[in-house]
Amino acid sequence: MIGSKQTHLLEISRQFQIHGEILHAEPCKVGHINETYTATYDQGGTKVRYIHQRINHDVFTDPAGVMDNLLRVTTHLRGKLAGKGTKNLTRRALTVVPTHDGRSFHKTADGQYWRTFVFIEGVRTFEAVESPTQAYQAGKAFGEFQSLLVDLPGDRLVETIPHFHNTRRRFDTLVATVSADKANRAASAKAEIEWALRQECSVDTVLSALAKKRIPERVTHNDTKFNNVMLDVASGEAMCVVDLDTVMPGSPLYDFGDMVRTTTSPTLEDELDLAKVRMTMPMFKGLARGYLEAAGGFLTKNERALIAFSGRLITYTIGLRFLTDYLQGDTYFRVHRAQHNLDRTRTQFRLVESIAKQEEAMQKFADSL
């Protein structure tokens, strides 16, 4: 990094309780929303790394609420892990570095929100699952994350993105967007729109169960992509769940459903060759085994009965979001080619079809655990 960005980051770094001299910093290519840097410091002759990150307050309109959630959750996680005798706590839960005035974030004069974490060494992330063993580790990591937060004390967490997994709202937004067709793209997505509209019968299943209290609201991660689990480089064991900005009230089914979406298909979410897109049962079995091993103790019978369905629902919901963004002119998700969001839509919808064909077998396996 050179020039004004380096000077600006140097000033940001001085706001936090970090001993030593910053040696250098470089952009960290993780995520699509926040601006992230890995910074190396000299502390008594030892090089120590931290993460400096600017919160995107266009997406997260209440950064203070985001950080209140994050600090409550990470503090509780470390306390529960310590109580179990877990070692290497700074590798098992994110550690927020406070500012000199004891806050969890620094707000600059021009309205930017910055935070700092201890860098977790000896771990790596993967964009796609490579084996059922990795799927097991992902399921176990997110299951344990939910389990440790079942007894989170205090008030209800802030909804950092309200209605994030509300499939009914996503469906209604699509309908309104198609009607307006402001970007003049509806004709090019006619088949995808018609397919999406035919799935309306499933959009209220989890929402209705929550509203009628057939399933409880819980603290959930809400962005359980496989690359949000850090795996130990040497052992392959899941160490830490990251990207906690969307931790808020929700249903564990949303989390498990997004795990199914992102860990059971051998392709990325924008695969062009739809013949390759499929839900693979070995990956699902590894995922479900790990998840239910960690979360099975607190899930209710009604929650467990929707385990397989959740994969279909959340994959469909994300597909609705991609399709809506495409029709609105690519205003939310970052795109790297023409019709990128439409390609993502097609991949999600093909995966929904694959899950639907195997849903009975998936649920039967989950019921056996």
Nearest to 279 by CA among 295, 247, 254, 257: 257
Give the model confidence (pLDDT) of 156-183 as tens digits.
999 999 999 999 999 999 999 999 999 9
3-121 and 132-368 share one CATH topology?
A: no
Domain ranges of the chain: 3-121, 132-368
Rounded to whole angstroms, the Cα distance separating 357 from 364 reads 13
CA 293, 78, 34, 127 torsion-angle sign:
negative
pLDDT at 31: 55
Is it the case that residue 2 has pLDDT exceeding 50? Answer: no
Contacts 24+ apart (CB under 8 A), 1-9: 1/25, 1/26, 1/27, 1/37, 9/37, 9/39, 9/52
Span 107-125, mean pLDDT? 95
Span 73-95, mean pLDDT? 95
User: Domain 132-368 is classified in which CATH homologous superfamily?
Assistant: Aminoglycoside phosphotransferase (APH), C-terminal lobe (3.90.1200.10)
Give the model confidence (pLDDT) of 225-250 as tens digits.
999 999 999 999 999 999 999 999 99
The model's pTM: 0.93
User: Domain 3-121 is classified in which CATH homologous superfamily?
Assistant: Phosphorylase Kinase; domain 1 (3.30.200.20)
Nearest to 92 by CA among 66, 69, 48, 122: 122
Residue 151's CB is within 10 A of a number of other CB atoms, namely 10
